[in-house]
Amino acid sequence: MIPQFDRHIDEPVPISWPHHGTISFENVSLRYENQTVNIVTNLNLRIPAGQRLGICGRSGSGKSTLAMALFRVVDIVSGHIFIDDVNIATIHTDEIRTRLSIIPQDVMLFNGTIRENLDPSNHYTDLDLWNSLEMAQLKPVIVSMAAGLDTHIVDNGSNVFSGGEKQLFCLARAVLRGSVCLVLDEATSSLDASTELALLEAANKAFHGRTIITIAHRLTTLLNYDRIIVMDNGNIVEEGTPNELRHKCAGKFASMLYSSIQSHDSYLPDEKL
């Protein structure tokens, strides 16, 4: 169950919000409910609309907390988070979570048909469903099933989907929703390198020109992003383009990338570090 932290009168927002996907953290401190220590402290960050931002850092650095704050899963102790100039603290959590999309590490599917899992409210046409599946590179998989969209899902989708396909299905949901902001929260941590690459390529294609925030599992997947920030102890300690950070002498990102490659957890494309 997702905790609720509503403290303000919920304000209505236009049906088109967010339209651009510009995100701003202004002096934001975050902590989880019933905790007394901040996970993120006095953080300032602006993510322009359409930017592909990679966030990395050691375990406990605050990177996932930062992403979860967009969905009001953590308590905003101080400061403000704006999406297209709207303070998200004034919006009901259910409203926010229907306007933004996330692909988590563990995708949850319920017992029902593919159609029902993709469109629980029966709001979209079959053409819309197929288009979203095609954008997520999952259409051939569904077409190959005898019942197509009416294929029944049980056991959290294990009867019809592989782990990577479940992530792609979650991407199809985001495409169908038409979100301008997509968060990938270590969504590829349980995938092999080739499946991870397929998912990220599908996400980048489907959300071209939209805001993408990725909490990285393999750092090499961030090397074609627009910008990277490195978190440590709840603060941003490095930021820049992938090329700047990977060649920064004694830099934290360069060190983590090198260690990742040495451990054979990642493959560095194009050139050696």
d(C-alpha 194, C-alpha 1), whole Å:
33
Q: Is the residue at 70 inside a domain?
A: yes
Number of domains in the chain: 1
SS3 191: coil
Tell me the per-residue pLDDT of 160-205, one tens digit each, with 9 for 90 and over: 999 889 999 999 999 999 999 999 998 877 788 788 888 888 999 9
Q: Determine the structural domain holding residue 171 and report its residue range.
A: 23-262
Q: Is the residue at 267 inside a domain?
A: no
Tell me the per-residue pLDDT of 114-165, one tens digit each, with 9 for 90 and over: 999 999 999 999 999 999 999 999 999 999 999 999 999 999 999 999 988 9
Q: Is the residue at 193 inside a domain?
A: yes
Q: Is the residue at 272 inside a domain?
A: no
Q: Is the residue at 127 inside a domain?
A: yes
Q: Is the residue at 13 inside a domain?
A: no
Q: Kindly state the tokens that stand for 176.
A: 């169908």
Q: Is the residue at 131 inside a domain?
A: yes
* CATH number of the CATH domain containing 94: 3.40.50.300
- Which among 54, 25, 33, 83 has a CA at the least distance from the CA of 231? 54
Kindly give the residue spans of alpha helices, DSSP state H, lying in 14-138: 63-68, 93-99, 114-118, 126-135
pTM summary value: 0.89
d(C-alpha 145, C-alpha 150), whole Å:
9
Tell me the per-residue pLDDT of 203-247, one tens digit each, with 9 for 90 and over: 999 999 999 999 987 898 899 999 999 999 999 999 999 999 999
> DSSP secondary-structure letter at 88?
G
Q: Kindly state the tokens that stand for 76.
A: 């905003």
Q: Is the residue at 1 inside a domain?
A: no
Cβ atoms 107, 170 nearer than 8 A? yes
